[in-house]
Each structure stands twice: as structure tokens, then as C-alpha cells.
Structure 1
Amino acid sequence: MKKQRIYSAAVREPADKMWSNCLRIDELIMVSGMTARGKDRETVLGETSYEQAKVVFQKIKDLVEAAGAVMDDIVKMTIYVTDIGDNAEVWKARQEFFSGDFPACTLVEVSALAKPEILLEIEAIAVAGCSAD
């Protein structure tokens, strides 16, 4: 077994010795919590939960594909929202990125995220090659 750090030009990496955005261990792919922060890490892209969710799902897609998998290989997601009432907007965005069996998922409300304008954060676990195609 070997741990491999995965990079995507579309997703800015954190500062050294902070965390990894994505790791692959054999067929297992772990994606850290992604937010709608832009590449400058200051700007937040999207004013609604739907808009931010689309940005986040695209980042996850970029990382999962860089790891050699596809979105439908995601088996588990955890979604943190600052307003549980926004769940329908998050589900709407999610439907634009998945087909077939959707991943197991937990959605929880939290009191705050890294910046007040960040409305959600999503982490994912994938198993490369497990989707039904």
C-alpha cells in the first residue's frame, strides 16, 4: 500500500504542512473539505448555497479525476452547511454532478465555517473504479 498526494491545477493547494486536498491509497481516494474559496483563497465564489455547491462539486470532480476516478466512484460525502434550510439547494447542485446510485451522505448544520460568507463545506471518499459505468 502506498499513499499518494493528488494535485489538480484547478484547485489551489494549502500552505506547506497544513493538509492535503486529496490523497489516494490504492483505490481509496480521500478529498478534504472543499469550500467555494477562489484560487486566491480570499474570494468566495457564489452568493447562494446552490452557487457555492456547484463550485465545490467542481473542485471535488477535478481532484477525483486527477486521482484517476470519476464522480460516480464517490461512495461517501459529508456536507456541512451554515443553514440547514439550504439543503434543497445543495441537493439541486449535487444532481448536476452525479448519475446512477448517489453516494452515502451526511448533511449537518454547523454554526460557522472559515469565513462568514462560506455557506458550505464538502468532503468526499471515493473508490476508484467502483461505479457501475
Structure 2
Amino acid sequence: MSNKAVINTDKAPAAIGPYSQAIKAGNTVYFSGQIPLDPGTMELVSEDFETQARQVFKNLSAVCEEASGSLKDIVKLNLYLVDLAQFAIVNQVMEEFFSAPFPARAAVGVKALPKGSQVEAEAVMILGD
């Protein structure tokens, strides 16, 4: 008997490969990467970086809610950017969605992301803290 549960919501983009939006194991939720797809159309919301970053956090929030949590329950956030010059913008957008104490975070520059996205985020959330 496993205490592992699949988290899935139609309020965030469907998985575009062999993975789940998130997996809950005990009181910990492990999120797959979210890119700025519109959940309804499965297309990028915009070519604009700031708009993409905002959608990534909206998608992440929708999966949090499906797992009975919220962004404030995220303890670790990994960001992937195709252009690290956008670092200041992603920080500003992040402050719209998170408040202190902020999660631990890494921001990594990458060559490319799925669907031509400019930003992706994955997270770990602890429930019941």
C-alpha cells in the first residue's frame, strides 16, 4: 500500500508527456515543471516574458489548490530561464504571488524549454505546517 497520490487539475495545463502535474507523498507534494501554457488551449499565453512568468505562477497555484494547499505552502522553488537577463522581472512577478517568508529557490539558465517557453517552475510543497 502506497501513500502516493496523483494530483491533476484541468485548471493547469495537462501533462505533455509521461508525467503527472504533481505527486503527493505523505504531506509533501512534488510538482512537475509548469510552463506558461493556457490550460484551455495548451498554447503559450504570450511571447512576452512577464506575461509568461505570471502564467507559470497561476498554473503552479492551480495545482497547489488541487492538492489542498497554496503557494504559501511551497518550501522549494526551482526556476528555469532561457535568458538570465530576465531575472529581475521574474523576481518582481514572483512577489505578486509569494510573500515572506519566501520559499528556498534556485534560478537556472537553460538553453531551451518545452514549447518555446521562456520560463518554467517546479516546486516542493509541504501541507499542514
The TM-score normalised by the length of structure 1 is 0.88
User: Structure 2 matches for 1:1-133, cutoff 5 A?
Assistant: 2-14=3-15, 18-39=18-39, 40-41=41-42, 43-116=43-116, 118-130=117-129
Residues 87-116 of structure 1: CA deviation (Å, up to 9, x unaligned): 111111110111120000000111111233
Q: Name the SS of the counterpart of 1:24 in structure 2.
A: strand
When structure 1 is superposed on structure 2, of 45-54 and 62-71 the one drifting more is 45-54
Please say if residues 13 and 59 of structure 2, whose CA atoms lie closer than 8 Å, have aligned partners that are also in contact: no
Unaligned runs of 5+ in 1: none
**C-alpha separation between the residues in 2 aligned to 1:110 and 1:45?**
20
In the TM superposition, residue 50 of structure 1 has moved relative to its aligned partner by 1.4
**Root mean square deviation, CA, Å:** 1.5
- The whole-number CA distance in structure 1 between the counterparts of 2:48 and 2:90 is 10
For the 8 Å contact 2:13–2:37, the answer to whether it is kept is no
Q: Deviations over 1:70-129 (max 9, x none)?
A: 11110001100000000111111110111120000000111111233x101110101012
TM-score normalised to structure 2 length? 0.91
- The runs of at least 4 aligned residues of structure 1 exceeding 4 Å deviation read none
